Amino acid sequence: MNLRNKKELAAKALGVGKRRIKFNTESLPEIKEAITKEDIKTLYNEGIISIKPVKGRKKIVRRKIRRGPGKIKKKIKTRKQDYVKITRKLRRYVRQLRSDAVIDRDKYIELRKKIRMRNFKSKGSLKEYVENLKKAVPVKEEKKTIKKKTNKENK
C-alpha cells in the first residue's frame, strides 16, 4: 500500500514536513479512504495520524549558523556608534575644561590623544584622571618663549 500522496496531503493540511507525518499502522484503510484536507484533519484529531516531534539541532547552534557577514557588519556599526557618542562627549568636556582654564594647551592635546586611544570608558573616568592631574601638579609656571635670533641680528 503506497501512501506517499496521502503523506503529502497530510503535510500540507497540517502545515508540517512530510517526514514528520506518522500514520497508525492499524488503521491504514481509513487513511487510504481520506481524500480531502478536512478528512486528514479529522483523522489527526482522532489520533490516527500523528506528528513526530522536531528533530535536529538546538536553537543555539542554528543561531550560530544563521550569523552571516551581514550580522557581523551590524555589530561593528553599533560598536562604532558607541565609540562616536563617547568620544564626542569626552571631547566636549575637555574643550570646556580648556576654556575654563582648568587645563593648559599641552594637557588638552594629551587628553585628546588619550580619548582617541580609548583610555577613558566614560566621562567619570576622565574626570577622575583630571582630578589626579590637579593633585599631582599644583600650579604650573608659564613657559617662557625664547625668540631665536636671525642671521641679520647676529651680525
Distance CA(141)–CA(143), nearest Å, equals: 6
Against a cut of 0.75, is the pTM above it?
A: no
Q: Return the pLDDT at 148.
A: 65
pLDDT in tens, 61-117: 666 666 666 667 777 888 899 999 999 999 999 999 999 988 899 999 999 999 999
What confidence tier does 141 reach under pLDDT thresholds 50, 70, 90? low
Residue ranges of domains in the chain, CATH in brackets: 4-51 (1.10.1650.10), 68-136 (1.10.1200)
The dihedral built from the CA positions of residue 139, 104, 125 and 115, taken in this order, carries a sign that is negative
Sequence-distant (≥ 6) Cβ neighbours of residue 49 within 8 angstroms = 10, 14, 21, 22, 23, 24, 31, 40, 43
> Cα–Cα–Cα angle for 76, 78, 84, nearest 5°?
105
